[in-house]
Structure 1
């Protein structure tokens, strides 16, 4: 049985990870312009894990999102080590693969509706599992989705902009501006689940059209008036990730 929960200790966020062999907590030690550092401890005996140094946030999130049953659409962390001024992550390497920017370019600038549907189902599933495991990726984009050129399997990578997903809205945005949710600019805050769905929508539109949606595209989409020759009328609005 596996269980995850989070709580606050003063100004420190504690994320607990429970499974049948180990119970871990990650406590935020501090953050700077390039990341946040967490310290991990075993809850059973209050000892730190074998690695002597605190966990960088990207590593902590990658470990947390892979707890539980394996999700093939999420990249796995195999090992890691740190150095005085950087850390090294050893990740699984799907081969042969490319990111979706390269994939679109190789297919002439955009892809057909059926291919887009297959890619988006996997991207949405990966993002959905991240949110269920309380990991907010915050940078779901073409560059962070790898696709196997032979099997068309998709993997979500790079949790460097991520955070723990809680009930409170976020006040700052650390992902890629082109994928940022509109409510961040209109209200100065946003929530993780809707922001994830928005970024998936940008990915899907770009796969189909070969460019980011313009303000006019977004206006037409809002009123379900957008269309593209060769696509079903609801190709963009029926995304396949309504469960999110």
Structure 2
């Protein structure tokens, strides 16, 4: 086991708190691209992290390089459903709450969607916001329409309606050019 805490790093939760509770969309896009690539790499290696959240990513505060940490809740990737939750309840996918079953890939997309929402909005979405998102009617004036559509695609209540992990980096939000990476 290798334990690493490179300097100068902090977890993403601390990072956004140090920057007023939320970060710019462009910086969030860079962070999310790296987070998604880390999740995909885990899947390629047959690992399901099971606890994707801001606190489980370290960010180098000089280079903005992101690393996925804390595999304590992890499991081998199964094609069948999981019936136990070992991660953080706040990031739990709705199908687990409704049926006590969930599949790895859609659950990962849900967690990544919540992570992005928290990065750009400063907190997890309220229940009524999740209803708007599920209806694909959620937007914020301070975010691009592509970012809002990406969040809507990740946070669908029905896992069959969520964007698939294999398509996630091809979403229009990732195709829009980044401007400067800076924090608010």
> Where on the TM-score scale, by shorter chain, does this alignment land: which range?
0.7 to 0.9
The gaps in structure 1 that reach 5 residues or longer are 1-79, 81-89
Aligned partner of 1:243 in structure 2 is 167
Paired residues, what number? 156
Aligned partner of 1:64 in structure 2 is none
Asked whether 1:140 is paired with 2:52, we answer: yes
Asked whether 1:157 is paired with 2:69, we answer: yes
What secondary structure does 1:237 align onto? Answer: helix
Larger Rg: 1
Asked whether 1:216 is paired with 2:140, we answer: no
Deviation of 1:242 after TM superposition, in Å, equals: 5.6
Asked whether 1:168 is paired with 2:85, we answer: no
Identify the match of residue 126 of structure 1 among 38, 63, 77. Answer: 38
CA contact (8 A) 1:204 1:236 kept: no
Q: TM-score, length-normalised on structure 2?
A: 0.80
CA contact (8 A) 1:98 1:147 kept: yes
The structure showing larger relative contact order (alpha-carbon pairs under 8 Å, at least 6 residues apart) is 2
CA contact (8 A) 2:140 2:148 kept: no
Higher relative strand content: 1
CA contact (8 A) 1:227 1:233 kept: yes
Q: How does 1:215-234 map to 2 (within 5 A)?
A: 215-234=127-146
- Summarize deviations over 1:123-170 as a string: whole Å, max 9, x none: 000001111211000001010011000000000000000101111100
Supply the distance in 1 between the matched residues of 2:46 and 2:127 (Cα, whole angstroms). Answer: 31
Higher relative helix content: 2
Asked whether 1:185 is paired with 2:81, we answer: no
- Summarize deviations over 1:156-203 as a string: whole Å, max 9, x none: 000000101111100110000000110001111000111111100010
Supply the distance in 2 between the matched residues of 1:139 and 1:131 (Cα, whole angstroms). Answer: 14
Q: TM-score, length-normalised on structure 1?
A: 0.61
